[in-house]
Structure 1
Amino acid sequence: MMETMLESHRDEQHPHQAEDFHRKLEQNSKLSGIKKDIEKLYEAVPQLVNVFKIKEKIGEGTFSSVYLATAQLQTGLEEKMALKHLIPTSHPLRIAAELQCLTVAGGQDNVMGVKYCFRKNDHVVIVMPYLEHESFLDILNSLSFEEVREYMFNLFKALRRIHHFGIVHRDVKPSNFLYNRQLKKYALVDFGLAQGTPDTKIELLKTAHSEDQQEDSVHHSVQRSVFGERNFNVYSSTYQENSSTKVKLIKQAKVIDVSSRKLVTKKKIIFTKTVSNGAARKAAGPLNPPCDCYATDRVCSVCLSRPQQVAPRAGTPGFRAPEVLTKCPTQTTAIDMWSAGIIFLSLLSGRYPFFKASDDLTALAQIMTVRGSRETIQAARTFGKSVVCTQVVPTQNLRTLCEKLRGTNSGCKRSQGEVPKGSENDSALPFAVDKPCAPEALGKQIQQRKSLKEGDSALEIKATDMKGWDQVPDEAYDLLDKLLDLNPATRVTAKEALLHPFFKDIRL
């Protein structure tokens, strides 16, 4: 009791010391937990003891944990390895399919390969080369335009490689594309959600899609992280909701069963509706009343009481293609190209994550605010879906949008939430400017400004400090437009992207 009182008194007298003390306790507790995890892994797979010295845990996701380890070579040198421990409940077929993807397609063209695989009972450890890499969010605003061009070129090389083998990655995002900035090395990782095309060369992917659906629903709600990347989707979103936009997804030629989600943020409210596969009206009765808000601009109490529909194997929120969000049954390698387009959008705009939504229909509404409602509705028809939107949302000019966000059009804004003045469509921009400039960039701008009018927050930026961002060619936005094609049938492929004029002077 006395110790508690003394600790409380110390917290009041020295708040900074108390904060450091609690931080150290938390760190020690975390380290202790990691140490126990490493010991458990050695116990579960004892073969590892004589081969690897596990240093630390560098990543933890829904289906696996990743550790950094060293292996003693015959030359006497140590080699760093990444050990991916798959959770025992993972479907055996899914594990085998992931291994086959790594062994067949991996090892070249920026696709991660596999060195060894250890198994003891239901524990499986995949051993891969370790690539030290940067955190995407940490370097986003310091990358030069040329570095971004090289990054995208190497991402397309990896996607061309796996798509050649009929592999749909399904979870393309920055934390699954490792990037060593100094060495200019890249690696596409994590094939845990991969599926095959109808003509896939990965035999095990032909049947892997039939695995337990429970794994998919878990993935939908828990973000996966590989090789120690932080889960950036917990950061503030980079979109602004359109207050009167309401979206409704309708499965054609089927009796409807409407479910609803309402997302409320500090600024505005957006309503979305989705239609699932059911026969609610046929079975309607006292316990199952029919929906009466179909094709209207409101959400009835029946719809509000129904659970949200979740798409299977949907990947990571913010990177899902329109055909995934609308539950299109036929999904191709084009969904990976859409995800690559979202990465490119973040790189050009300097905002990450660019989209963040709690459910698929809100995500679709966010896409509409960039690509336009009419265009989204028209594209949905091509893959058998009907989308109803209560308001016409215009298409954004991608260059204007990215330049406003990056601040290369009219200078960075120091005051938070302030958007540079521009076109009349500003109100429909799908973002909230909560991080106008990186601290390092802003500091340089302050030091190098020639003049600053009193009360004016715009800073002059020297062209020499822009790292090429003041000369982004039209080809960049043309490629971005083709990547974010709402119609998967006409969306640019990885092979076509590599031949785009944007990469005209980069050798394959």
Structure 2
Amino acid sequence: MEVNPSVCNDGNSTESHVKANKHIGRRKLSLDVENDIEYLYEAVPQLSTVFHIIDKIGEGTFSSVYLGEALMANGTKEKFALKHLIPTSHPVRIAAELQCLTVAGGKENVMGVTYCFRKDDHCVIVMPYMEHQTFVDIIGLLSFEEVRQYIYHLLKALQHIHQFGIIHRDIKPTNFLYNRQEKMFALVDFGLAQGTADTQIELLKELSGLCKAPRAVFGERNLNSCTPVPTKTTDPKIELVKSTKTEDPATRKFVTAHRRPLPVKTPVSNQRPNQRTTPAAVNLGFTCSCYTTDRVCNICMSRKQQVAPRAGTPGFRAPEVLTKCPNQGTAIDIWSAGVILLSLLSGRYPFFKASDDLIALTQIMTIRGSRETIQAAKTFGKSVVCSRELPRQDLRTLCETLRGRRPSPDDEATPHPHRDTTTCHHHTHDTPISTDLPGEPSRQHQTLAEPEAQDERGWDRVPDEAYDLLDRLLGLNPAKRITAAQALQHPLFTDL
């Protein structure tokens, strides 16, 4: 990146440049943004010799993104995105993100990296800036052909990073920039990325060895912090239990109505019993008595909290993430891509909106079916119990109904398949969960046109291949879920 350092301070100090920037932006920027920009200049003084920071364009848990302008050596001005990582980010995590951008970025719809500034514990990653539209503003305006192109280019980006053994772990519309006018796409934000067993990103291997104890499912925690996860939870009833060959409730005897359970001693102190006592209790005849019921027995309550990798954004997490499957791969990115396609075909964003992971799992059941979800969970060693059977929905009917192209079912005459109160247990959860129709919370963002206008955009001619691909992307079993490479060969993309 050849730049003219005179663009920002004309030889003056950082302080003079900051004052000039405040004067220029006083009418447009809020006081908070001005203060953030001033703080960034003070934290990383080198920036002032290259960039004039125009605005703050994004903010997340682990970073803030600014729009900067630099005078290039040829006399032209060029815009860049400056990602300022929080000072508490682990150095290996920062380096791993940079390596992902350096090795895989810059091609196949994946954002590249231009430069990196560092001052003490502050780090700023400089990337090309791409003009893009907000997903929620355009979702109701897109033609079906634009949707087809969008998901095709997203899958191209996923195929590319998956070839390097990179699991993005936070696929969502705000991390896949889309310039509708120029038909440009860019996958961004590898701050939560992890590597597969054979990843080519060396620092992802190191990061996996560094974080021995991943985040717990219930209770958000900074992924950049690698301190062990406490074994106690604030609510022991909200605890998911991993199935094992020898101690899982599925393989133990369970008490029926005709046999009284042997008494189980309740701990006297507030501390939960050590997990070591559980096998002994089983050997003595203290068998689990709550499997396939809506109760939680003391044997299960005494087990330690299980932890598994958990990143991403609520609403886009795959079933294996929600149920804390320890072996997670690139298939979790494919599930997230399927949720995006579901939003695009139905015109609803966000489609899934849940306050915790068990509600999210129940919402998935309302679309994909409870029996199918339970069966898939068994394949990766999890036991899920649902108080009633939820039917699998036809994806075309669902999407066309939400788009207003089919009449909605009469709520009074016919029970709505998604409006019910269902109790979902991951063997230890016994709280009723009320689930509304996924996608309905986004009605305030709904900008869909009338069916006639939608017809002009091709929504009356959506082929069956689109819903077949959606079904494969949302495969409940990660081992059988379609890969990005396979999806690109799908009949929906034959001419692409």
* TM-score over 0.5 for the pair: yes
Instruction: Please state how far the C-alpha of 1:295 moved relative to its aligned partner.
Output: 3.4
Instruction: Please state how far the C-alpha of 1:356 moved relative to its aligned partner.
Output: 1.6
Taking the aligned partners of 1:94 and 1:45, their CA distance within structure 2 comes to 19
Instruction: Please state how far the C-alpha of 1:490 moved relative to its aligned partner.
Output: 1.2
Instruction: Please state how far the C-alpha of 1:388 moved relative to its aligned partner.
Output: 1.9
Taking the aligned partners of 1:351 and 1:473, their CA distance within structure 2 comes to 19
- The answer to whether residue 351 in structure 2 is matched with residue 354 in structure 1 is yes
Hey, what does 2:140 align to over in structure 1?
141
- The answer to whether residue 182 in structure 2 is matched with residue 183 in structure 1 is yes
Q: 366, 371, 388: which one pairs with 1:369?
A: 366
Q: 478, 492, 495: which one pairs with 1:488?
A: 478
1:251·1:385 contact (CA, 8 Å) conserved in 2? Answer: yes
Map Cα deviations across residues 125-179 of structure 1 (whole Å, 9 max, x no partner).
Answer: 1000011111111111111100000000000110011001110000000000000
Instruction: Please state how far the C-alpha of 1:323 moved relative to its aligned partner.
Output: 1.1
- SS of the residue corresponding to residue 179 of structure 1 reads strand
Taking the aligned partners of 1:247 and 1:145, their CA distance within structure 2 comes to 42
Within-5 A mapping of 1:58-457: 58-211=57-210, 216=215, 221=220, 251-253=243-245, 278=275, 281=278, 293-298=290-295, 311-410=308-407, 425=417, 430-431=437-438, 433=440, 441=448, 445=450
Within-5 A mapping of 1:29-48: 31-48=30-47
Give the TM-score normalised by structure 2.
0.74
State the percentage of identical aligned residues.
Answer: 62
- Give 2:403's aligned amino acid: R
Taking the aligned partners of 1:418 and 1:432, their CA distance within structure 2 comes to 18
Q: 1:78 to 1:190 in 2, by over 3 A?
A: same
Hey, what does 1:502 align to over in structure 2?
492
- SS of the residue corresponding to residue 391 of structure 2 reads coil
- Give 2:191's aligned amino acid: G
Taking the aligned partners of 2:217 and 2:390, their CA distance within structure 1 comes to 33
Taking the aligned partners of 1:307 and 1:181, their CA distance within structure 2 comes to 49
Taking the aligned partners of 1:388 and 1:296, their CA distance within structure 2 comes to 8
- Give 1:147's aligned amino acid: E
Q: 1:42 to 1:424 in 2, by over 3 A?
A: closer
Taking the aligned partners of 1:327 and 1:108, their CA distance within structure 2 comes to 33
Instruction: Please state how far the C-alpha of 1:495 moved relative to its aligned partner.
Output: 0.8
2:310·2:324 contact (CA, 8 Å) conserved in 1? Answer: no
1:407·1:436 contact (CA, 8 Å) conserved in 2? Answer: no
- Give 2:140's aligned amino acid: N
Q: Any unmatched runs of 5+ in structure 1?
A: 1-26, 225-245, 258-276, 285-289, 446-460
Map Cα deviations across residues 188-243 of structure 1 (whole Å, 9 max, x no partner).
Answer: 0000010111111111111212445899569964899xxxxxxxxxxxxxxxxxxx
Hey, what does 2:464 align to over in structure 1?
474
Give the TM-score normalised by structure 1.
0.73
Q: 1:299 to 1:383 in 2, by over 3 A?
A: closer
Instruction: Please state how far the C-alpha of 1:251 moved relative to its aligned partner.
Output: 2.4
1:249·1:388 contact (CA, 8 Å) conserved in 2? Answer: no
Q: 1:379 to 1:426 in 2, by over 3 A?
A: closer
- SS of the residue corresponding to residue 366 of structure 2 reads helix
Taking the aligned partners of 1:279 and 1:369, their CA distance within structure 2 comes to 38
- SS of the residue corresponding to residue 386 of structure 1 reads coil
Q: 1:350 to 1:304 in 2, by over 3 A?
A: farther
- SS of the residue corresponding to residue 116 of structure 2 reads strand
Taking the aligned partners of 1:145 and 1:172, their CA distance within structure 2 comes to 21
- SS of the residue corresponding to residue 58 of structure 2 reads strand
- Give 2:206's aligned amino acid: T
Map Cα deviations across residues 480-501 of structure 1 (whole Å, 9 max, x no partner).
Answer: 0110111111111111111100
Q: 1:364 to 1:92 in 2, by over 3 A?
A: same
Taking the aligned partners of 1:215 and 1:28, their CA distance within structure 2 comes to 45
Taking the aligned partners of 2:456 and 2:444, their CA distance within structure 1 comes to 13
Greater mean deviation of Cα atoms: 162-171 or 463-472: 463-472
1:326·1:385 contact (CA, 8 Å) conserved in 2? Answer: yes
Greater mean deviation of Cα atoms: 248-257 or 183-192: 248-257
Q: Number of residue pairs matched?
A: 414
- Give 1:313's aligned amino acid: R
Q: Any unmatched runs of 5+ in structure 2?
A: 1-25, 224-237, 250-273, 282-286, 421-435
Greater mean deviation of Cα atoms: 420-429 or 326-335: 420-429
Map Cα deviations across residues 10-35 of structure 1 (whole Å, 9 max, x no partner).
Answer: xxxxxxxxxxxxxxxxx999821221
Map Cα deviations across residues 72-115 of structure 1 (whole Å, 9 max, x no partner).
Answer: 11122110000001111101101010000000000001000000
Q: 1:187 to 1:88 in 2, by over 3 A?
A: same
- Give 1:251's aligned amino acid: S
2:114·2:126 contact (CA, 8 Å) conserved in 1? Answer: yes
- Give 2:438's aligned amino acid: F
Instruction: Please state how far the C-alpha of 1:312 moved relative to its aligned partner.
Output: 3.3
- Give 2:383's aligned amino acid: S
- SS of the residue corresponding to residue 182 of structure 2 reads coil
Instruction: Please state how far the C-alpha of 1:433 moved relative to its aligned partner.
Output: 3.8
Instruction: Please state how far the C-alpha of 1:505 moved relative to its aligned partner.
Output: 1.1
- SS of the residue corresponding to residue 342 of structure 2 reads helix
